[in-house]
Structure 1
């Protein structure tokens, strides 16, 4: 799933000239039609291979199996970007589950997606005298000045979806950003739209420009769509996640009025956009097969329901939210013990109608059946 195939998908158009032909001076305009068609077939074949691999059942646990035992009597403050967001809520639920096992107390502070409130709740979190801070969904670099007081007091910080890449966040005191590879998530999402459409998708991309991770995911999806000669990138819309309920209905109506039947695929950086777009599509008389939605995160309950019932949404690259909550607790435990973080990145998984009932899908979540709970219990030496 990593490396050459995805990079190739970003840089090679469906009708691109093979590198050897290009080196010999053959241009796309002068290339024989059969060669162009062959390139398109090769692109679609490679896209299908990548999508099929991402859709398979979960592989055995590939994360850590050793680490420090549970550090006792810790109090954790959690900054939740917005608990109305299914991704943030799922991760917080996983943290609470893992914290109970490891024996820690947790206090959650919800910023409700409001910039001013983020700073206020961070002040409240600091005033609670935590041993550690976990950030769920807020942008680490934007918060860097407000995080300095935690760092000055030696309070370790880890986060979920707080930067564009997994791992430590340069320029901030965040020791570990827990995430799947956001660019790989974005590429798989866009490639799934290409495969489902047979290379003929008319696409609108939804993002939230406040978040670097969202901008990067949207740009990656757009690049993949542009690489498909039979596809059309119709529009990219910047809609604040925190205002999606307010903005998406009118945005959806405007897009339908502008593009009509040319709009066949909606790609988004989060499922929440579709919560408010789907009812508008139904009201407009669009049949379920008339417009397909695919999300580059997070695998919300409503997304699973739409996929199971065939109501517009045909895919979500679901985050293992509960698992990520456990990983956040484990990374924090390692920091308390004076050890390094793991830098573990969970493989990308695409949920579609064909696999929606597996790996927790019967409970409307993506919860890999790889035994991660027992593995973390064993690492922490907890019953």
Structure 2
């Protein structure tokens, strides 16, 4: 997947080089020819992302299960389907590896985040998993775990997968957020034939959200026939309260000019779609695509053709298993793997594969059996 993106960026996206301060060569093509090439390369990237899950290319060796461990899991908000899916994966993997898990939920309230961390620390865990929060925001609380030599891993806690610089988080488990954002925006461009008029929804409180929104905006702006109407900031924790009114206001402002809604998370569409229905919009009048996480409601909308046509779904259960494996390596005194799972776009055409019949993305690549063999667990 990364190879396609790099090839496309180098061959067809001089705007990317300019943004990074690199020299660009003149492109001796007419605007129409350049736009046609742009769409063709975008379609190749989108088609690649929509393929069934590839065979497992992650770790196959590692330390056996460390016995009798106790994990604390601090969740950003258990109303978020992505977070719940990851924690379900953690619980499933913890049962196999033989660990106890205690879950702490801050409900998306900023003033409760550090309190939940303090409560989790008081439970005297052997390891901490943080799910959905911003690692830099939590730094004062995380430093107390580091001082107690309690290892930390997280899911979607920074803008990049891997160790989180400047924090004690040894591994941020995630697909590549920027690739997720690019594929989402490119899918909108391909589906619109290069004429998307888009609003992007983002949460201003998290680095990963801002970076994904900025990346989607850059891709839309690079499409000569597309229009970025605006980037609208709505905190995920307030989406239920704010999205209905926000959607009505955007409809009043842009009317039929607004044809595509892009979001950093499916949850925004849970509250926007009913407003579109109430406003009498036919499904073809608005297209929704999400740069994460592949919620069950998103799968239902895609399956029924109710506005949403795609979600770049996270392999939530797989990520839960990976979190447990990365923690097991740390508890065994070894390094994390740094593994990043490839980006996958769910559409109506492929929704029946890789867990789609259960309204989730669960790659059929045998990862559970592989982790069992690594841990030497039946």
User: Matches of residues 10-159 of structure 1 in structure 2 within 5 Å?
Assistant: 11-12=14-15, 20-21=25-26, 35-159=30-154
* Paired residues of 2:326 and 2:336 also in contact (CA < 8 A): yes
1:5, distance to aligned residue in structure 2 (A)? 3.4
Match of residue 352 from structure 1: 347
Paired with 1:264 and 1:62, the residues of 2 have a C-alpha distance of: 38
Match of residue 357 from structure 2: 362
Match of residue 314 from structure 1: 309
Match of residue 326 from structure 2: 331
* Paired residues of 2:299 and 2:360 also in contact (CA < 8 A): yes
Write the deviation string for residues 326-358 of structure 1: whole angstroms up to 9, x where unpaired.
Answer: 000000000000000000000000000000111
Q: RMSD of the TM alignment (CA)?
A: 1.4
Paired with 2:150 and 2:204, the residues of 1 have a C-alpha distance of: 29
User: Matches of residues 131-280 of structure 1 in structure 2 within 5 Å?
Assistant: 131-280=126-275
Match of residue 16 from structure 1: none
Write the deviation string for residues 92-126 of structure 1: whole angstroms up to 9, x where unpaired.
Answer: 00000000000000000001000111111111100
* Paired residues of 1:6 and 1:187 also in contact (CA < 8 A): no
1:173, distance to aligned residue in structure 2 (A)? 0.4
Find the partner of 2:6 among 4, 7, 13: 4
* Paired residues of 1:77 and 1:106 also in contact (CA < 8 A): yes
Report the TM-score when normalising by structure 2. 0.96
Match of residue 302 from structure 1: 297
Paired with 2:373 and 2:13, the residues of 1 have a C-alpha distance of: 41
Paired with 2:122 and 2:8, the residues of 1 have a C-alpha distance of: 45
Paired with 2:364 and 2:320, the residues of 1 have a C-alpha distance of: 15
* Paired residues of 2:161 and 2:175 also in contact (CA < 8 A): yes
Write the deviation string for residues 121-155 of structure 1: whole angstroms up to 9, x where unpaired.
Answer: 11110000000000000000111111111000000
Paired with 1:43 and 1:237, the residues of 2 have a C-alpha distance of: 27
Q: Which runs of 4+ in 1 moved over 6 A?
A: none
Paired with 1:10 and 1:152, the residues of 2 have a C-alpha distance of: 46
1:10, distance to aligned residue in structure 2 (A)? 5.6
Write the deviation string for residues 79-99 of structure 1: whole angstroms up to 9, x where unpaired.
Answer: 000010010000000000000
The 3 A distance-change label for structure 1 pair 341 and 72 is same
Q: Tell me, what secondary structure is at the counterpart of 2:137? A: helix
In structure 2, the gaps of 5 or more residues are 17-23
* Paired residues of 1:209 and 1:238 also in contact (CA < 8 A): yes
The 3 A distance-change label for structure 1 pair 6 and 123 is farther
In the comparison of the two structures, how many residue pairs are matched? 369
Paired with 2:95 and 2:331, the residues of 1 have a C-alpha distance of: 17
Paired with 1:149 and 1:159, the residues of 2 have a C-alpha distance of: 16
In structure 1, the gaps of 5 or more residues are 14-18
Paired with 1:70 and 1:10, the residues of 2 have a C-alpha distance of: 46
1:6, distance to aligned residue in structure 2 (A)? 5.0
Q: Tell me, what secondary structure is at the counterpart of 1:141? A: coil
